[in-house]
Structure 1
Amino acid sequence: MGSAIVSKLINRRGTLSHEITLGLIALVLGATVFYVDAFTEVESAIAVLYVIVLLLSAEMLTRIGTTLLTIVCAALTLFAYFYSHGLGENVPAQLRLAVSLAAITITCALILRNETARAGLIEANLHLRDSETRYRYIFEHSRIALWERDYSAVRSFLMSLKAEGVSDLKDYYRTNPGVIVACTGLIRTIAANDAAMELLGHMTDGLHSRTMRRYIAPDDDTFLDLMNAIFCGERHFEGKGNLITENGESRLVIMSMSFPEDPTAFNRVVVGMVDITQREMMQKALREAQDELARASRAATVGTLSASLAHELNQPLGAIVVNAQTLLRWLNREPPDLAAVRRSAERIIRDSQRASEIIHNTRSMLTQGDRTPERVDLETLIEETRALMEHDFQRDMVDFDVNPAEMPLKVKAIRIELQQVLINLVTNAVQAMRETAIDRRKILVSLGRKDDIFVSLSVRDFGPGISEEAMAKLFTPFFTTKPSGMGMGLSICRSTLEARGGQLIAGNHPDGGAIFEMIIPIEDDHDQR
């Protein structure tokens, strides 16, 4: 640093000495020109030599100084003229005066214009230097891998192929695969930043002695696409390709570059590369996790469906077993009570058909098959449910009462779906009252018109009701308050009604017990659409 300061001082001293020398020469020359012009009889435009004085002084004077010196030289010229020739008319002398003044003025104007151009050039050079400094800083410190490469020879080679009649480089490559090897050998690396060196790995012999073909995967077509972009005269190229690092690792990168309009500027093309290997690996892991989640979801769906079927089929299958046992008891009597046997057999057939309908309905739902809605008389549906669950009522000593509507109510729906919901609600009511006193075990089913669009069918029991904690999770799958329950019934009931445009609402009756209200659309929601 000290030597640099000394060097600057020496240069400044030399410049100052040079300016003093020029100043003395200009002063002596000016004095000589004035003396000859004013005090000798030389008849010539000697004042023109003031131009030399201005030129010698231009380097050390500012614009104002140059203007003042020009005024001084013009004043000395006028003084010499009037001193030598007076006010008399002397045409040759006046012409020499005009020529001298014109030369001084023109020289001053040229010096000032040159000074302006010089200042502009200095400012432009300063801006260019600042721009180059910023560019170099960004280039060297960027975390994006950047190269400066000379593609001029490659472009010339590709343009020569086009001149020879090649119109499709990719088609030409199929029959001449060596063209890409030739192109890679023509690319020269001018500079590379630290990120680029880090991307390719440690190189003991430097980057400038290597061609990029060393780092391009054998089966990668990105470089062919790049050459084709230059061949077709495109202004920008971006592609995704694989690089092979010094230690043999494969890196997936996005390569991007812009080509200049001027063909001579292909000697410095900036190439950027972004390593996206980790991003691609994360996306691949994400896709695999999504696939695994989908498989788990399908497995959970199968499990839910199995639990649903087990729950739905439990009641009719249990009824079949009870009726079969009853049938055997009637057969074992002496003599057998054939009338009772017939009733038991009919109930077995009825419950078997109901189990079959449950399976058919589930299969139709899975295959999205047609399940044709029909007109369902709700009072008849309630009576059928009473008959189906007669054994449960007798076993648990539960009374089943119905508050019918003022007029018959029919809805357009899937019968088996509504019956399954109603059976689930009645079954829950029976089970909820097992700890209730026998004289209070009653289920009250009420039916009525809610409005012009919906019908209300409610099931009330006289048990302990629903706790606040259970109310919050009542319709959550697999939530149950029963030791042997599966927690699927109410969830399935609500989903079934909502799928048809209805609702299932639960609450506690003010006089005790729980009440579930089925809100059923008069017209099937799917049918309306």
Structure 2
Amino acid sequence: MPSFVLVNPKRRLSARYETGILSFAFALAATVFYLDTFTDIHSALATLYVITLLLSAETLTEKGTLLLTVVCVGLSILSYAAAHGTDADLAAILRLAVAIAAILITCALIIRNHRARLDLIKFNVALQSSEERYRTIFEQSRVALWERDYSEVRALLMVLKAQGVSDLRAYARDNPNFIGDCISRIPTVAANAAALELLGNVSAKNAGSMRRYIAQDDETFLDLMVAIFDNQSYFEGKGTIITSDGTTKLVLLTVGFPVDVANFNRVIVGMFDITERELAQKALFEAQAELALASRAATVGALSASLAHELNQPLGALVVNAQTLLRWLDRDPPDLAAVARSAERIVRDSQRASDIIQSTRSMLSERTPVLEPVSLADLVNETQALMESELSRNRIKFEMSEAPGIANVSAVRIELQQVLINLITNAIQAMAATPEEVRRISVSINPADGRGVRVSFRDSGPGLSADILEKLFKPFCTTKETGLGMGLAICRSILEARGGTLTASNHTEGGALFEMIVPMEAVHE
């Protein structure tokens, strides 16, 4: 049999069944031809060839179907010619046209269905191949991956939103069982080997629910629920899990939410173990703090050694002159002139010791105080650059604004910068418990009624309590466990020594507000 009438190799019908179908179809075609040609039945019997095509559709290729269509059309025309010859019969012609049209339409539908089926087979093969590739990546990836069903918990969150809940965090605080209920509504569809290893080499059965692995005080899961509640497309956050052996691990959680809500039944969740990275970063910060402490200790040690060396001579001279004075007084009669000279030398050496101490103090504030023109806006920007690492690490937004026409002030630059650093550092520490998205330090520079320039510092922290405000600038007053309480007292002393002021209050919109006024001209002591 020619290839165009061969049975389609993609069909899964048995050879005996296919042969039987073809035999029956050809027998039916012969029967239709006989009835249409040799009987007086006046009807469109040729349309029954459609049944032949339909019966053969499952067994013939596309070319075979086309050939059978041509045969059926040819048999219809042959029957008409044999029955009517050259006599024109309008009714017979119409019956022939109807039969041929039915045969051709049926052929077209069979071919279209055949091609659609082939496309569907190709699509299923490609889909199966893609699924196999995805499964290979999922199973062999060294990143901990889960497939989880978030459809039920999303439905719960949408019901809450429809009921008027707008702040999911407040709702969770008011309903302590809410988080546990949400966790129980998220079954695990699949987990790869890396995920089972991350949880402590547990079995796939024990990884079905994450309830036992999520730390009770961890806020990351609530953040994830808020992301779904707000219809976000992606979530990333740091969290804490407890493995099967009780080990605490810090993880980076990433979840991509599908656009189609129907696909929330299989959401990919990734986890990265960042415990070592976080511990290394913590160790780095602690090392930096210890280095700063060691640096301060070294400075104090060097200063002490320098003072001991410099003060040794005048103090020794003081002792000698005092002993000499006593000897002159012990004479009979006392040599008052010599006593007076010894007393003068004691005064001189005491002044020398005082000058050494004063010189050391001046050295700590850039040796001798030198007044110079200072642009406060430039100084604020320079100080921000110096503290950029600290601001960035604490996720704090820094803003600075300056009124037009602000002139330079006459001041000791290093002193003012030390005040700025202290105020910014205090603001950073005050916002430790403030949510990262609202942490902000705002600095504004404005004229101070002709007396100088006002520099205002406002943070978005909790502000200052009434009892702290009363003694804030007193020495040893601090709100920090490890603070000495000297920073603000020294800042106020620095400004007041140059004719300026430093005050503190709470801003009307929240947060603490520190204002320092720097005089425009130098103050002569």
Where on the TM-score scale, by shorter chain, does this alignment land: which range? 0.5 to 0.7
Tell me how far apart the structure 1 counterparts of residues 171 and 285 of structure 2 sit (CA, whole Å). Answer: 38
Letter in 2 for 1:74: V
Q: Does 1:295 align with 2:293?
A: yes
Q: Does 1:248 align with 2:241?
A: no
Q: Does 1:68 align with 2:43?
A: no
Residues 189 and 207 of structure 1 are in contact (CA less than 8 Å); yes or no, is this contact kept in structure 2? no
- The match for 1:229 is 227
- The match for 2:155 is 156
Tell me how far apart the structure 1 counterparts of residues 209 and 75 of structure 2 sit (CA, whole Å). Answer: 72
Residues 238 and 257 of structure 1 are in contact (CA less than 8 Å); yes or no, is this contact kept in structure 2? yes
Distance 1:261-1:98 versus aligned 2 partners, 3 A rule: same
Distance 1:295-1:93 versus aligned 2 partners, 3 A rule: same
TM-score by length of 2: 0.57
Tell me how far apart the structure 2 counterparts of residues 203 and 373 of structure 1 sit (CA, whole Å). Answer: 70
How many residue pairs match? The answer is 351
Residues 213 and 241 of structure 2 are in contact (CA less than 8 Å); yes or no, is this contact kept in structure 1? yes
Displacement of 1:212 after TM fit? 1.9
Q: Does 1:211 align with 2:215?
A: no
Letter in 1 for 2:222: L
Structure 2 counterpart SS, 1:288: helix
- The match for 2:118 is 119
Letter in 1 for 2:216: P
Letter in 1 for 2:362: S
- The match for 1:285 is 283
- The match for 1:479 is none
Deviations 1:391-449 (A, max 9, x none): xxxxxxxxxxxxxxxxxxxxxxxxxxxxxxxxxxxxxxxxxxxxxxxxxxxxxxxxxxx
Displacement of 1:354 after TM fit? 8.7
Distance 1:14-1:125 versus aligned 2 partners, 3 A rule: closer
- The match for 1:268 is 266
- The match for 2:437 is none
Bigger radius of gyration among the two: 1
Structure 1 counterpart SS, 2:212: helix
Q: Does 1:367 align with 2:365?
A: yes
Displacement of 1:152 after TM fit? 2.2
Tell me how far apart the structure 1 counterparts of residues 44 and 11 of structure 2 sit (CA, whole Å). Answer: 38
Residues 224 and 235 of structure 2 are in contact (CA less than 8 Å); yes or no, is this contact kept in structure 1? yes
Q: Does 1:27 align with 2:9?
A: no
Tell me how far apart the structure 1 counterparts of residues 285 and 12 of structure 2 sit (CA, whole Å). Answer: 74
Letter in 2 for 1:287: F
Residues 73 and 100 of structure 2 are in contact (CA less than 8 Å); yes or no, is this contact kept in structure 1? yes
Distance 1:168-1:347 versus aligned 2 partners, 3 A rule: closer
Residues 238 and 253 of structure 2 are in contact (CA less than 8 Å); yes or no, is this contact kept in structure 1? yes
- The match for 2:100 is 101
- The match for 2:135 is 136
Structure 1 counterpart SS, 2:211: helix
Displacement of 1:261 after TM fit? 3.6
Residues 11 and 58 of structure 2 are in contact (CA less than 8 Å); yes or no, is this contact kept in structure 1? no
Tell me how far apart the structure 2 counterparts of residues 113 and 260 of structure 1 sit (CA, whole Å). Answer: 34
Residues 311 and 356 of structure 2 are in contact (CA less than 8 Å); yes or no, is this contact kept in structure 1? yes
- The match for 1:196 is 195
Displacement of 1:110 after TM fit? 0.7
Tell me how far apart the structure 2 counterparts of residues 89 and 258 of structure 1 sit (CA, whole Å). Answer: 74
- The match for 2:491 is none
Tell me how far apart the structure 2 counterparts of residues 263 and 296 of structure 1 sit (CA, whole Å). Answer: 58
Structure 2 counterpart SS, 1:290: helix
Residues 152 and 185 of structure 2 are in contact (CA less than 8 Å); yes or no, is this contact kept in structure 1? yes
Tell me how far apart the structure 1 counterparts of residues 14 and 345 of structure 2 sit (CA, whole Å). Answer: 124
- The match for 2:512 is none
Residues 196 and 204 of structure 2 are in contact (CA less than 8 Å); yes or no, is this contact kept in structure 1? no
Tell me how far apart the structure 1 counterparts of residues 293 and 216 of structure 2 sit (CA, whole Å). Answer: 37
Letter in 2 for 1:186: R
Displacement of 1:95 after TM fit? 0.5
Distance 1:197-1:353 versus aligned 2 partners, 3 A rule: same
- The match for 2:339 is none
Q: CA RMSD in A?
A: 4.0
- The match for 1:259 is 257
Displacement of 1:112 after TM fit? 1.5
Displacement of 1:369 after TM fit? 5.7
Equivalent positions of 1:333-412 (< 5 A) are: 360-368=358-366, 370-372=368-370
Structure 2 counterpart SS, 1:253: strand
Structure 2 counterpart SS, 1:170: helix
Residues 222 and 240 of structure 1 are in contact (CA less than 8 Å); yes or no, is this contact kept in structure 2? yes
Tell me how far apart the structure 2 counterparts of residues 64 and 14 of structure 1 sit (CA, whole Å). Answer: 19
Tell me how far apart the structure 2 counterparts of residues 262 and 372 of structure 1 sit (CA, whole Å). Answer: 69
Displacement of 1:298 after TM fit? 3.7
Deviations 1:5-25 (A, max 9, x none): xxxxxx988633322222222
Tell me how far apart the structure 1 counterparts of residues 73 and 308 of structure 2 sit (CA, whole Å). Answer: 120
- The match for 1:519 is none
Residues 234 and 255 of structure 2 are in contact (CA less than 8 Å); yes or no, is this contact kept in structure 1? yes
Tell me how far apart the structure 2 counterparts of residues 14 and 93 of structure 1 sit (CA, whole Å). Answer: 39
Deviations 1:231-275 (A, max 9, x none): 333332222111111111111111121233443332222221111
Displacement of 1:360 after TM fit? 4.7
Distance 1:88-1:373 versus aligned 2 partners, 3 A rule: closer
Structure 1 counterpart SS, 2:146: strand
Deviations 1:434-474 (A, max 9, x none): xxxxxxxxxxxxxxxxxxxxxxxxxxxxxxxxxxxxxxxxx
Letter in 2 for 1:192: A
Tell me how far apart the structure 1 counterparts of residues 310 and 112 of structure 2 sit (CA, whole Å). Answer: 102
Letter in 1 for 2:18: E
Displacement of 1:59 after TM fit? 2.1
Letter in 2 for 1:286: L
Deviations 1:22-55 (A, max 9, x none): 2222222222222332344333212112212222
Letter in 2 for 1:284: K
Letter in 1 for 2:61: T
Letter in 1 for 2:267: V
Tell me how far apart the structure 2 counterparts of residues 205 and 93 of structure 1 sit (CA, whole Å). Answer: 74
Distance 1:114-1:346 versus aligned 2 partners, 3 A rule: same
Displacement of 1:313 after TM fit? 9.2
Residues 241 and 252 of structure 1 are in contact (CA less than 8 Å); yes or no, is this contact kept in structure 2? yes
Structure 2 counterpart SS, 1:119: helix
Tell me how far apart the structure 2 counterparts of residues 59 and 184 of structure 1 sit (CA, whole Å). Answer: 52
Distance 1:241-1:76 versus aligned 2 partners, 3 A rule: same
Letter in 1 for 2:156: F
Displacement of 1:88 after TM fit? 2.4
Deviations 1:86-111 (A, max 9, x none): 22211011001100110011011111
Residues 237 and 256 of structure 1 are in contact (CA less than 8 Å); yes or no, is this contact kept in structure 2? yes
Letter in 2 for 1:25: F
Residues 238 and 255 of structure 1 are in contact (CA less than 8 Å); yes or no, is this contact kept in structure 2? yes
Distance 1:171-1:40 versus aligned 2 partners, 3 A rule: same
Aligned residues with identical type, % of pairs: 59
